[in-house]
A and B are shown apart, each in its own frame.
Chain A
Amino acid sequence: MNQPILKIVDLRVYYHVEAGAVKAVDGVDLDLQPGVKLGLVGESGSGKSTMALALMRMIKEPGKIEGGQMILDGTDLMTLNTEQMRHVRLSQLSMIPQGAMNSLHPLLRIEDQIIDGIRDHDRTLTKAELHERAGILLESVELTRRVGRMYPHELSGGMKQRACMAIAISMHPQLIIADEPTSALDVVIQRQVMETLDRLQVELDLSIILIGHDMGLMAQFVDRLAVMYAGRLMELGDTLALFEEPLHGYTQMLIESLPVLENKGVFTGIPGITPSLLDVPPGCVFHTRCPEATQECREIVPAFRELRPGHWVACHRHGVVEA
């Protein structure tokens, strides 16, 4: 097997609020191979966006990365200082934020926002070269060069999302984190934007982490899927395997609740509510909603282990736990 492009070891991110520590990410282990599209799904409040921000080292007060490693292409991001991290962003790792509409500067032309990032990494380029680079980038995300001279309010939602993609790929990163990039778009535009991202992934040999809660988008786009619940990973496996043979109780119920063409009119939800991250239940975090929970589940945290090649799960139901 190849060296993973990203290796996350025991990542913990807590938000320290008056009532205590909100454990948004609590001991996540994850490997990502180069050129793989990984989906990270979870309900709102499961910690998936916090994980993205942690990878970018952009967690703000009162949040704090409590521990763990995030090894990107051999370098632990936790060991970098602010200046080094600033260099990593965009050139090795970049992000397409949630709601592109709100992440572009309203008073700057699109072109200038693209150039801004490039110039931060490469001061040697001339004005004409920068202009040319921006033009090429816009074309690569299927926008016309003319868009470069426009302001964000002149663009549609899909175009703004594409502009953000142009910024994200401007320094040829190896890994892109896309946080619900199309959640505000109509299905037709969503599909077109995702198809562009798919093409870029192949052309630039990118690894992508797609964050979201839309299992439909995941089924269509990613190679591997990580299921997050209450700050921890429940399951990780190839998309098809995970859909067809989910191993964790949460994944099973999540997949049963999905509206597919064949089960019209069948509504199965997941009973109960997500636990508060301030007061996570002992043992398996899902035991409060799991119909098969046992005494063991209520007391012992299940290890996240590789049950089958490439298929990881944190659940006691599958054999004994090694101490």
Chain B
Amino acid sequence: MTSLLELKDVTKVFGKKNAYTVALDHMSIGMPEDFPYIITIAGESGSGKTTMGMLLLGFYTPSSGEVLYRGKNIHELGRQEMFSFRQDVQAVFQDPFAVYNPFYKVDNLLSIPIKNFGLATSRRQSRELMERALNGVGLRPEETLGRYPHQLSGGQRQRIAVARALLLKPKLLITDEPVSMVDASLRATLLKALRSLNQDFGIPIIYITHDLTTAYHVSDYIVILYHGSVMEAGDVDPIIRDPKHPYTQLLVGSIPWPDPRRPWGDTNIAFPKSVAFDEAAPGCKFAPRCPLVFEPCMAERPPLFQLDDGRAASCYLYQSDETVVREDLMDLFPRKDEVEAAAD
């Protein structure tokens, strides 16, 4: 089956020949339609997570490889195809303030896509659509419509952005740090809205974040990126509860859990402070910072080794015969209903 949206061996390099950064390194992932799960793309700044989102949305062109929408390169789409791509794939970004024109009522943000995509034939129908979309994210239309952005809280604004995306009945939602600007007490509400969208409408969500606590709570699967490469990927539960890759261990060990009884840094390996990163080095990208580094790490990039519990780690500590073909990370993210059916 053709994926809805696919990264096919995509590499994105920024910079010139002698001063370059590989933001995303040979990444392949194909998002199917009707896949009611949330996949987190996590990593620190500079890990390539936002670049990946921008590539998926067609805002960057890949340096090599292809981004395919229903099997066709998104940079070669015809007008009609581009139109349906822009409807099927929706995005919610970090800053809800940045997407509003302060002089327009928030209604505009919803009515413009309705008009552009011809979703309604009358004003009444348009109003109905807007109200339904707002209800879908837990906002009361009478308290939202007719207002200016400054009259709404950050959480409300971000929920309107989600409502706008929802209006177009997308087949895939890409969210880049949607809750990082929102207060802690509102984060839960917003994440709940995203989660129910995902489950009620079966819309797959790519959740790009550096925040592993919310990633753990909201998502089913996770991809840990470091300098553009996948370090560990698979089911989010085992990865957060028992990280295998030393980099994931470092990240998870640094999560400030809001729980005084779960202190910071329960990792027993010491990590050196950040060191200079050499893009041209042949080995594992994390090797210069890894306390468990040994010979093979310096020689060649480790493939993704398959582990027993359905995840994979790109680390020679877990060397086995079975490697995940990098052709498609989706092999690590089975549909849970199918897994359960097979187990019966």
Contact = CB atoms under 8 A, between A and B. Distances in A.
Contacts of B262: 260-261
A243 interface: yes
Interface string B202-246: 000000001111101110000000000000000001001100000
A79 interface: no
B251 A269 contact: no
Interface in B169-189: 183-189
A187 B195 CA distance: 24
Given A190-B254, A220-B264, A267-B189, A259 B214 contact: yes
A261 B259 contact: yes
Contacts of A216: 213, 255-258
Interface residues of B, number: 45
A186 B259 contact: no
B259 A260 contact: yes
Interface stretch (A3-11, A29-37, A170-178, A250-258): A250-258
Given A188-B44, A219-B259, A267-B191, A43 B185 contact: yes
Contact of A257 (B45, B188, B216, B254): B188
B64 interface: no
A213 B183 contact: yes
Interface string A90-116: 000000000000000000000000000
A188 B274 CA distance: 10
A240 B265 CA distance: 18
Interface string A187-226: 1111110010000000000000000011111111000000
A8 B216 CA distance: 40
B312 to A, nearest CB: 22
A191 B185 contact: no
Interface string A146-160: 000000000010100
Given A44-B183, A259-B213, A268 B254 contact: no
B154 A219 contact: no
B217 A187 contact: no
A218 B257 CA distance: 9
Given A186-B45, A188-B44, A267-B195, A215 B184 contact: yes
A318 interface: no
B293 interface: no
Contacts of A213: 183-184
A141 to B, nearest CB: 12
B192 interface: yes
Interface of A: 43-44, 142, 156, 158, 186-192, 195, 213-220, 239-240, 243, 253-255, 257-261, 264-270, 273-274
Q: Which 8 A-B pairs have the closest CB atoms?
A: A269-B189, A216-B256, A267-B192, A258-B258, A269-B188, A186-B44, A215-B258, A187-B254
Given A188-B251, A265-B195, 6 more contacts: A44-B183, A189-B44, A257-B187, A269-B188, A273-B155, A274-B153
